[in-house]
Amino acid sequence: MDYQSESDKDMVFLECSLTEDGRDYGYNSNPTVDWLGSTVIGSSDTIQASANVFTADMVGRQIWGAYSNMQSSILSHYYGGRAEITAYTSPTEVTATLLEAFQVGASYIPGQWYLTTTRVSGLEYLIGHDVSVVTDGAIPDVVNDEIVTDGSISFPQPASVVHVGYNYTGMLETLPLEQGGVSGPAQNKPKNVAKVAIRFIDSAGCQFGTSLYNLTEIEFRRGNDITDRPVPLFTGVDSSSFEDSTEDDKVLHIVQDKPQPCTIASLDIYMSTSDE
């Protein structure tokens, strides 16, 4: 789950988007970052970098370790960890409070640690426009569909990778549905859809229905999912029943109006046909 959340950060489903990536601080200066403290949550200790990367205005921001599914001796220690910077000492050293334990002796190479932010700037080209925001693969409702006024967007929770841009709606419409009746083809016979089984690949949900004005939401977040993480991407079949009207001409619509992935591999439509 944690590594899945890590990979979700790089997915972009926005137009004309700008990305704030907390890994860039490591890529630009090329430092390895080490947590020199204990694993006790709330403890305060030193974070040390192998090259100049820290500045005084980073106080209040957080350093996150990346998650990895690799089990080699080189990467086996990349299992998260978070600390909030509380004091600046030098370009290579800060004091921080531990929020989520790093592994003892953790040493994060460039690309495996993030500096978080609660503000994205450089959005002057979007001033006056409604934009959507995706933080670490999730949609923060408090800033989604916000108007850019001063070339920046702020949000309350720190994020390591942020995408800002125009949201768009992806739509799929089938050909007229056909389920033969007792007396033969049913293209012009009254039909009613009772259930739809959709096979998804790495998807975060969608809406579906036989009318764009009456869509049923499919949500893949479950009650036992880890909190503070994006919606887990789903691969498999989801079957959903819904209320449908009886009509001669029937199509199925699938709509994704959120900046999240939705890939449909197949549709299995359960419907009834009325014969004269």
Task: List per-residue pLDDT tens for the chain, 276 residues long.
Answer: 455 677 788 889 999 999 999 999 999 989 999 988 888 899 999 999 999 999 999 999 999 988 765 544 444 445 688 999 999 999 999 999 999 888 766 788 998 899 999 999 999 999 999 899 999 888 876 556 678 888 998 888 899 999 999 999 999 999 888 776 666 676 777 888 888 999 999 998 899 999 999 899 988 876 666 666 677 888 999 988 888 888 888 899 999 999 999 999 999 988 887 765
pLDDT given for residue 17 in this prediction? 94
pLDDT given for residue 225 in this prediction? 60
Q: How far apart are CA 202 and CA 261, in angstroms?
A: 7
Under 8 Å between Cβ of 47 and 167: no
pLDDT given for residue 160 in this prediction? 93
Q: How far apart are CA 186 and CA 243, in angstroms?
A: 21
pLDDT given for residue 73 in this prediction? 42
pLDDT given for residue 180 in this prediction? 66
Q: How far apart are CA 86 and CA 59, in angstroms?
A: 5
Judged on CB neighbours under 10 Å (0-12, 13-18, 19+), 71 is exposed
pLDDT given for residue 127 in this prediction? 92
Q: Does the pTM of the predicted model rise above 0.75? A: yes
Hey, is 4 helix, strand or coil? Answer: helix
pLDDT given for residue 117 in this prediction? 95
Retrieve residue 165's tokens: 């841009």
pLDDT given for residue 75 in this prediction? 43
pLDDT given for residue 241 in this prediction? 82
